Chains A and B, each alone.
Chain A
């Protein structure tokens, strides 16, 4: 399946990926409205890792055998039938944080701004190119066919 590939040597930590992730998952899809009115319940679904000169944007790694899926007690975490992506059905999630306890990349976050939900990347639900990749000015994120990814299972 197509997965997001991180090129940390190209990342300058500008965080445009965060901005566009948030806008993409807003109701208005408008950068001003999303930040002014919808921010109370929205948070970016990726994490910008930064330490000194090194930075990169981290999204759900889309593991072949996702630990979050086996740990999810509500059945919210599932594989989307159409896109094959591991996504969280936020109407089912109860915010128990089992997924957070098992994700080896730490790519799932608590969203307690509205109802408690586990917040994670959904690959922009079947978009040709996810918003973070499309808006990265430096090619630090690409969207490519990656055959296997075992998510930290050495």
Chain B
């Protein structure tokens, strides 16, 4: 049997490791539009900040593919999938047959169509080559000023890296608050103050409407929606990604925003799977399928797809939207539905403005469905576990908020379960 995987990031690695755990014989081929290095996209901000060198971007060792007996085609994107013929075609004309196909094409950065995108000094921030180009470009500049478009996770990560490099950053965000998709107003304001404390100018309800160049075709000014002109050497688009689902749509697979999949990551064609940022998989907090472009989901969904391709049925329990960002050493986490409105929810919150710590726990029907943590993030996974397992925390609610959360803050039966696993008593 031959398994073909399109893309070589977290989803592909999850699939390969899972396939090889169950099956040594299946033939595996990875086709990627990027180079052979399996690198970590979320670490690009650490790389841009100069905290790690290029070699440490590697998510798996260089011999990963040979050790897992995987054939590799790189720098050659798949341009067509033919489900009836069970084959894919690459940009150089290679035609490759498959028995099972995994589409893990991820997402592509969102770039609004504004004048000046072709100028030197305009960047996105999702691929290694983007980050490398941006770092090299900045090294060649005397004065370093950048406009970061997007005040979400990617925009914040890019901004944090840029200010660590000494770049003067102006951040523009269309929404009234930064990180609005993940944080509530209080946490968002804390992060905004932190950014401003490090010299970042945060412009909300604003965006770049035009990028202007100097005589040599380099970025010199960004024109904002409110009419302001910002002098800068670089414009970085960190708005987010949209599912790279074009191949799947063209092949006639069912696609909404992302590729529709079942609990085994199967698409509408039983021999084709989709997983990771491109897939619309089950989110157990909102109780519906949706795209959530985060690393843990990508890896897990890849592993579930890989197992199922070789006959091991491990249904996906579902994902929880979550992310963590850090601004100059202060961490912030959003888990599940942490920014749910007060109406219809039971909310516990605790803030210490001076220490820059904040905790917001969101409950519905006695169950935790979300958490936001700023500053103090120790043992945050205890909250994630309660959310994932839909544990009734009714009588323990206050203990989850006060002081440091511990396993002793939890209902006893659940604590014993976490400590010793199923069926074993403490």
Contact = CB atoms under 8 A, between A and B. Distances in A.
- Bound together: yes
20 contacts: A47-B406, A56-B419, A58-B407, A67-B381, A70-B299, A73-B40, A73-B41, A94-B46, A97-B333, A98-B324, A99-B381, A100-B377, A100-B379, A101-B380, A102-B381, A106-B406, A110-B377, A148-B422, A151-B418, A152-B389
B59 A75 contact: yes
Contacts of B380: 97, 100-101, 106
A67 B388 CA distance: 11
Contacts of A110: 377-378
B333 A101 contact: yes
Q: Which of A49, A106, A110 has the most CB of B within 10 A?
A: A106
A70 B421 contact: no
Interface in B320-379: 322, 324, 326, 331, 333, 335, 377-379
Contacts, number: 140
Contact of B381 (A6, A8, A100, A154): A100
A103 B381 contact: yes
Interface stretch (B50-58, B74-82, B84-92, B166-174): B50-58
Nearest to B14: A70
A104 B382 contact: yes
Contacts of A40: none
B114 interface: no
Contact of B406 (A49, A99, A101, A153): A49
B124 interface: no
A interface residue count range (under 10 / 10 to 19 / 20 to 34 / 35 or more): 35 or more
Most buried by A among B46, B421, B426: B421
Given A8-B426, A70-B299, A104 B420 contact: no
A70 B380 CA distance: 16
Contact of A73 (B42, B333, B384, B422): B42
Interface of A: 5-9, 47, 49-51, 54, 56, 58, 61, 63, 67, 70-71, 73-75, 92, 94, 96-106, 108-110, 146, 148-154
Contacts of B42: 73, 96, 98
Given A61-B419, A61-B421, 8 more contacts: A58-B419, A61-B418, A70-B296, A73-B40, A73-B43, A75-B58, A100-B377, A153-B388
Interface of B: 14, 40-43, 46, 51-52, 56, 58-60, 295-296, 299-300, 303, 317, 322, 324, 326, 331, 333, 335, 377-382, 384-385, 388-389, 391, 405-408, 414, 417-422, 424, 426
Contacts of B407: 49, 58, 105-106
B404 to A, nearest CB: 9
A8 to B, nearest CB: 5
A56 B377 CA distance: 22
Contacts of A96: 42-43, 46, 324, 326
